[in-house]
Structure 1
Amino acid sequence: MSEYTDSLRDVFELFGPITVRRMFGGHGIYHDGLMFALVADETLYLKFDEYNLGDFEREGLEPFAYDKGGRVVQMSYYQAPEELFEDRELAAAWARRSFEAALRAQAGKRKTKS
């Protein structure tokens, strides 16, 4: 892990315990076994869906995207606002909304498999 990913435990301490796992050149950030954030190039991205997308758009934040064989792939994560690194309550609120988005995505996958 890096100092950056290690610091996220403090950032999200009011939200609850997190685990960090290496993945595809970055890190997945998990709470209760569910990924709600990721880190790529020392930048934190939080999960979004239709219910919290407006929060990210109002802040003018950028979506996470990467190049895959010459085409840009966008995932369901947006850059986290810088303010949450200085405000633990704000960090907990953003984390909670992103975790809820991850829960909804997981529930949708279960329905599709049934």
Structure 2
Amino acid sequence: MDNDRIHELLAGVGPVSIRKMFGGKSIYRDGLIFAIDLDDELMFKADETSVPDFLAAGCRQWVYTHSKTGRVTPMPYWSIPDEALDDPDEMTPWARKAIEASVRVEAVRVPKRKTKRKKA
């Protein structure tokens, strides 16, 4: 999906930034990633609070398959209902759910400890 279309669909949640990432794009609001675009498919972040809404709408979870091991890892991103892809007004509530999930996830994230580097 091109960046202009992403901005158009997500206009209801305010300004977003888009960055290239492995094989796709990551989409941020206020510095938090809440969506990805993989293979021209927009997917929103969900957590334990919002997953039931995505399931009820018939959305599917993105599953990453590791190329070397074949191991499958469920990721926290979900497809979006088809009707939302055609209408920014339908997209806005889904985008808000994704932003709220990102905020909740960030709130419980344990910060990484800084380690001192040994001087040579």
- TM-score normalized by structure 1? 0.89
Task: Find the counterpart in structure 2 of residue 17 from structure 1.
Answer: 15
Question: How far does residue 46 in structure 1 lie from its aligned partner after superposition?
Answer: 0.4
* Structure label with greater radius of gyration: 2
Instruction: From 51, 54, 58, give the equivalent of 1:53.
Output: 51
- The answer to which structure has the higher helix fraction is 1
- For structure 2, which runs of at least 5 residues remain unmatched after alignment? 113-120
Task: Find the counterpart in structure 2 of residue 86 from structure 1.
Answer: 86
Whether the 8 Å contact between 2:85 and 2:91 is mirrored in structure 1 is: yes
Amino acid at match of 2:82: E
CA-to-aligned-CA distance 1:71-96 (integer Å, 9 cap, x gap): 11111010111111222222111111
Name the SS of the counterpart of 1:38 in structure 2.
strand
Amino acid at match of 2:91: A
Question: How far does residue 19 in structure 1 lie from its aligned partner after superposition?
Answer: 1.0
Name the SS of the counterpart of 1:10 in structure 2.
helix
Aligned-residue Cα RMSD (Å) equals 1.5
d(CA) in 2 for partners of 1:85, 1:51? 22
Structure 1 runs (4+) greater than 6 angstroms displaced: none
d(CA) in 1 for partners of 2:62, 2:8? 23
Question: How far does residue 56 in structure 1 lie from its aligned partner after superposition?
Answer: 0.8
d(CA) in 1 for partners of 2:103, 2:23? 24
Count of aligned positions: 110
